[in-house]
Amino acid sequence: MHECNCYLSLKLVNHKCLEKSLETNCPICCEFLFTSSATVRGLPCGHYMHLACFQAYACRNYICPICSKSMGDMVVYFGMLDALLATEELLEEYRDCLQDILCNDCEQKGAACFH
């Protein structure tokens, strides 16, 4: 038994254990997860939601609705966004401006070109 108060499949290699994480409501439908008979999906951040809720939510969102961390590997998607932004020309006054940013995934501060 882990801190999350549940037993998980041995196939689940990258489980992030959060204390009593299943003893909460699904962030989408608000049904209590611990006593729910519906299949539950774990996110990389350690939060959970019903599988059906995840599938509907993931059609339009890529971040956990609780902590705003990515629900999957976003490297390719973010690379496509960077490539798209690189094709757009900024006004001269903004070309050398930097914007302070905070990455929700790694929780590190940094700077990025303004756009």
**What are the tens digits of pLDDT across the range 63-95?**
999 999 999 999 999 899 989 988 988 888 988
What pTM value is reported for the model?
Answer: 0.71
Q: Find the CATH number of the domain harbouring 60.
A: 3.30.40
Residue type, 109: K
- Domains identified in the chain, total number: 2
Print the domain residue range for 18.
Answer: 1-65
Can you tell me the mean pLDDT for 24-52?
91
2 shares a domain with 47: yes
For residues 42 and 48, the answer to whether their CB atoms sit within 8 Å is yes
Can you tell me the mean pLDDT for 18-27?
80
Sole residue written with tokens 């997860």: 33
1 shares a domain with 46: yes
C-alpha to C-alpha distance for 112 and 101, rounded to whole angstroms: 7
Spell out where 1-115 has E strands: 40-42, 48-50, 98-102, 109-113
